[in-house]
Chains A and B, each alone.
Chain A
């Protein structure tokens, strides 16, 4: 596609439920990144994929967070047993060799 697509754009979930956030990167972009942005804050790195493997997952805050990428394309970020502190905007970006980073519009997650 023309840009990085994220779905859903908004998600409200009850505390304790699992959620899945999806990122569809720009076609041909081999690198994919997940970030989290709390209200009025900077972007917190979560995980980076190169193809289907994750050479850097140092930013995942707990074992409730996991991510996978299949076919070198779509990625899913899963948060299990959501907590109120998980409420944030989750941003995905993709990049290619010699290119810059293109960000999606984000998924706003609200845990109630």
Chain B
């Protein structure tokens, strides 16, 4: 069963605008962590932001914020003030359980294109 769903194969945004990338997840474990990664055309995986299932506040890291809606099982990534360098593939991922180890399950990704 698909545990991470990213429904937007591609997204376009104008430079300096904000964009939201959608992610929904499915788990019966009350303890889990949610991650977002950026993969530019070079292929490296760059960690962006993390949200724990018990975290009360939405995570923020610079221009990145995670809109965590636990009851809806969604963990959308918001990128504010988009830059041309934000053009890349973005992956949502989940780790189940209390431990900080364990496999990440990834979604299919969203290709973001930032237009000047």
Chain A residues at the B interface, C-beta cutoff of 8 Å: 30-31, 33, 35, 41-45, 48, 50, 56, 59, 89, 91, 93, 95, 97-103, 105-106
Cα separation A48 to B102 with both chains bound (whole Å): 7
Q: Are B100 and A98 in contact (CB under 8 A)?
A: yes
In this complex, what residue of B is CB-closest to A98? B100
Cβ-closest 4 pairs across A and B: A103-B45, A43-B106, A42-B106, A42-B108
Task: State whether A56 and B102 are in contact (beta carbons under 8 Å apart), knowing that A41-B108, A100-B47 are contacts in the complex.
Answer: yes
The secondary structure that dominates the A interface is strand
Contacts of A31 in B (CB 8 A): 101
**Looking at the complex, which one of A50, A56, A106 makes contact with B43 (CB distance below 8 Å)?**
A106
Closest A residue by C-beta to B109: A42
Q: Complex Cα distance A89/B43, Å?
A: 9
CA of A42 to CA of B3, assembled, Å: 13
For residue A42, which residues in chain B have a CB less than 8 angstroms away from its CB?
Answer: 91, 106-109
B103 CB–A CB distance under 8 Å: yes
A56 contact set on B, CB distance < 8 A = 102-103
Once bound together, how far apart are the Cα atoms of A101 and B96, in whole Å?
Answer: 14
Q: Does residue B44 face the partner (Cβ distance < 8 Å to A)? A: yes
Say how far A67's CB is from chain B's closest CB, in angstroms.
Answer: 13
Query: Which residues of A sit under 8 angstroms from B100, Cβ to Cβ?
Result: 95, 97-99
The reply to whether B45 and A91 form a contact with Cβ atoms under 8 Å apart is yes
Residue with the greatest number of chain A CB neighbours at <10 A, chosen from B44, B45, B47, B105 = B45
Residues on B with C-beta less than 8 A from A97 are 100-101
Restricting to B39-56, which residues have a CB under 8 Å from any CB of A? Answer: 43-45, 47, 50
Asked if B104 is at the interface of the complex by the 8 Å CB criterion, the answer is: yes
Query: Whose C-beta in chain B lies nearest to the C-beta of A3?
Result: B44
Bound Cα distance from A50 to B43, whole angstroms: 25
Q: Identify the interface centre among A50, A101, A105: most chain B CB within 10 Å of its CB.
A: A101
Chain A residues within an 8 Å CB radius of B102: 48, 56
